[in-house]
Amino acid sequence: MVESITNTVWNFTQSFPEPLQWVAILVAGAIPLFEGHGAAVLGIAIGVQPVAATISAIAGNLVSMLVFASLSNYLRDKITPQRQARKKERIHHLYNRYGVPLVSLIAEVWLPSALTTILLISFGATKRQVIIWQTVTIIVWSVGMALIATGVITVLV
C-alpha cells in the first residue's frame, strides 16, 4: 500500500512542469501518511531544490494539520467516547506521562500528524498547544529527513 501511494505521488509530481513541481510537493505534504518529511524527500529525489522542496512539504503538512486541528477541536465534545484502540491507548499513556511536546515529537514515528493532532485534542489538550507542538514536530521531522535525503543523494551521485 505504501509503495502504491509513493508511486502515485511520484508520478503526480513528475507530471507537473519543472517550475511548478513545488506545488506538487506542497500537495504531497498534505497527504496523511506521506507527511512533510516524505514529501521533502520526494521533492529532493526528483530534483527540486532542497530548501524549496522542504518549505513546500512543510507548508502542505501544516495546512493539513491545521484543518484536522480545527475539525477535531470543533467535534471533540460532539463525539461520544468509544473504546480506545491499542495505538490510541499507547498515545494516551504517553500524553498523560509526558504531555503534548514529547507526544508530538515521538508519535510521528507511528502515526500521521493529522491523527496525532486529533488524538491530542480528544485527550483534552488545547488546540493552541497542539498546533504549536505539531508545527515544531513537522518542521523538525521534515528538515531532518531533507538533510538525510540530501546527504544520501550526494553520496550516491
* CA 32 – CA 62 distance, rounded (Å): 11
What is the DSSP secondary-structure string of 25-82? HHHHHTSTTTHHHHHHHHHHHTT--HHHHHHHHHHHHHHHHHHHHHHHHHHTTTSPP-
Phi, psi of 80 (to 5 degrees): -75, 145
- pLDDT, tens digit, 9 for 90 and up, residues 79-129: 645 555 666 677 777 788 889 999 999 988 888 999 999 989 988 899 999
Weakest-pLDDT range from 16-20, 26-30, 133-137, 140-144: 16-20
Mean residue pLDDT across the chain: 87
Asked if the model's pLDDT at residue 33 lies above 90, the reply is: no
Model-level pTM greater than 0.85? no
Asked if the model's pLDDT at residue 134 lies above 80, the reply is: yes
